[in-house]
Structure 1
Amino acid sequence: MNPADQERQHEVAGDEQEPDYRFTLANERTFLAWIRTALALIAGGVAVVQLVPEFGIPGGRHALGVLLAAGGGVLAALAVRRWQRVQTAMRRDAELPPTRVPVLLGITLLAVAVLVLVVFLVPGP
């Protein structure tokens, strides 16, 4: 392919180019790590509802299970969006987009841990 054809092909692609495969694979590994975390949250929600005895607060077990499962679903959606944004930035040779997902996840898990401690401290019926 001559240089003029390569330049036209580059322009048609929207000024995007395929990044080094190592970066693409690293982005995929990060995505899969977020998906594993989401699956763990969903599994934790199922386990709480199915295996944990009723808390002192009526409906608390189900509320906690739903909260964990919903958090896992939200995290999975955020992981897909993050993977897409990073892949697009790499193709455009742009700076990687910032993310607040780790901070959001940390704060959410801290809130869940505090909620669990409060539920444990409430005496049963």
Structure 2
Amino acid sequence: MSGPRGGPKDGLRDGLWDGLRLWVAPRRVQEEGETPDYRFSLANERTFLAWVRTALALVGAGFAVDQFLPDLRWGVRVGLALALLGAGALCALRAVNHWVRCERAMRRGEDLPVTRFPTVLSLLVGVVAVAMVVVVVFGWAG
């Protein structure tokens, strides 16, 4: 159900679209506010790269579970692999989003955005790790 033209739903959609456009056109971020100290921008970029490395590790772990644990019951193996692959995909997308939000906040002189994503990601990885411990201890083979 869409709101009237110019209504709250259009504003939300426009804001979301503008945010996504910044992912592929980061130069537009430079049009806002004042240029921060380059050290802060570089620190933001290093954080982004750390998130991307984490995403790659999660994707690699998902493929490893699927390819190197063929004796696991199919549902367990696929469930663990998909959880890791999904976490990797979310982490990669969140990395871009977080980089843009932090860069905009620094340029505007605002507080850095708060996020629950590290907690969610940690909980998901913890659940997968506990599931793997259970698999190792009980040896659920197919």
Report the CA distance shift for 1:19/1:62 in structure 2 as closer, same or farther (over 3 A).
same
Q: Gapped runs of 5+ residues in structure 1?
A: 1-12
Q: SS in structure 1 opposite 2:36?
A: coil
Q: Paired residue for 1:53?
A: 70
In structure 2, how many angstroms separate the alpha carbons of the residues matched to 1:123 and 1:51? 14
What TM-score, normalized by structure 2, do the two folds share?
A: 0.72
Q: Paired residue for 1:116?
A: 132
CA RMSD of aligned residues (A): 1.8
Query: Percent of aligned positions with the same letter in both sequences?
Result: 46
The CA deviation at 1:45 is 0.7
Read off the aligned partner of 2:122 and give its amino acid letter.
Answer: G
What TM-score, normalized by structure 1, do the two folds share?
A: 0.81
Report the CA distance shift for 1:106/1:15 in structure 2 as closer, same or farther (over 3 A).
closer
The CA deviation at 1:92 is 0.2
Greater C-alpha radius of gyration: 1
Q: Paired residue for 1:101?
A: 117
Aligned counterparts, 1:1-12, within 5 A: none
Q: 2:52 aligns with which of 25, 35, 43?
A: 35
Tell me the number of residue pairs that the alignment of Structure 1 and Structure 2 aligns.
Answer: 112
Q: Gapped runs of 5+ residues in structure 2?
A: 1-29
Q: Paired residue for 1:71?
A: 87
